[in-house]
Amino acid sequence: MSTHFTPTALKFLKGLKRNNDREWFNARKGVYESELKAPMLALIDEVNHAMEAFAPEHVRPANKIMMRIYRDTRFAKDKRPYKHHVSAWWSARGMEKTSGGGFYLQVSPTEVMIASGCYMPEREQLLAIRRWLAENHEEYRAMLKKILKPRKGESAPLTMVEPQALTRMPKGFASDHPAGELLRAHTWGVHRVLPGEAALSATLLREIVSGFKQAAPLVYALNGAMQSDEASARREASRPLF
């Protein structure tokens, strides 16, 4: 039977949201370790096994994929130390330290989010994606339409992630460009959002793998745009000056 979570896990996350402090967490750290961290690592291993068939470049050890429950509060006004969800990020090999395209899972008491794409990439990556979209927007839209097409038997459709779009066209692109809404975006991706109770179901693994596999062409297209631009820049830099 595939890994899933227990009611105790969701109860812990609900309690953590109400009592987001180190004293409360440390007194119940054993529950976190056994009911959330251990099952999440096991689930990631199972997802990894499935992804070998369609996204092998995104497979890494589970402990490298699972995200920390501790919040980075160094520059945040909100100093609460913990997230009230558990999450995982499957980045592409060689892009682990950047904002490249990947696959994301988030589990909370209220929802299970299964997402794929590129979220707020770095400046050079952002420009590379926009340049690629400017030339390939028709193919991109056709691919996206295919990805978003409802599948028989799916529990919830894939939908677009909020694009975090600019109000104006970015510098260097024509204001009347036919890919305007794509070029103004800061985020490109799709997600499937399920109720929190989906985390308790034995079908959780199937839901995750299905969502990731369906969206894999989008992730590969976005990463390909970034990697192609990087390769072009390296070739340009290696040319002799004379």
Contact 189, 220 (CB under 8 A): no
- Sign (positive/negative) of CA torsion 108, 110, 114, 120? negative
Paired tokens of 67? 């995200």
Q: Which residues are CB-contacts of 87 (< 8 A; sequence separation ≥ 6)?
A: 66, 67, 104, 105, 106, 107
- For 39, other C-beta atoms within 10 Å of its C-beta total 19
| Average confidence (pLDDT) over 108-118 | 98
For residue 225, what are its two tokens? Answer: 């745009």
240 pLDDT higher than 70 = no
124 DSSP β-pair partners: none
Confidence of residue 236 (pLDDT cuts 50, 70, 90): very low
For the chain, which residues make up each domain, given as ranges? 7-233
Domain covering 7-233 in this structure, CATH number:
3.30.930.20
pLDDT at 239 over 50: no
Q: What per-residue confidence (pLDDT) applies to 230?
A: 57
pLDDT tens, residue by residue, 146-196: 999 998 888 899 999 999 999 999 999 999 999 999 999 999 999 999 999
Percent of the chain at pLDDT exceeding 90:
86
Q: What is the structure's pLDDT at 1? A: 66
pTM (two decimals): 0.92
Q: Do residues 167 and 83 lie in contact, with contact meaning Cβ atoms separated by under 8 Å? A: no
pLDDT for 98 equals 77
3-state SS class at 87: strand
* Crossing angle for the helix pair 204-238 and 123-148, to the nearest 10 degrees: 140
* Confidence band for 75, pLDDT divided at 50, 70 and 90: confident
Backbone φ, ψ for residue 164 (5° rounding)? 55, 45
The residue length of the chain stands at 242
What is the pLDDT averaged over residues 74-97? Answer: 93
Kindly tell me if the per-residue pLDDT of 231 is higher than 80: no
pLDDT at residue 55 is higher than 60: yes
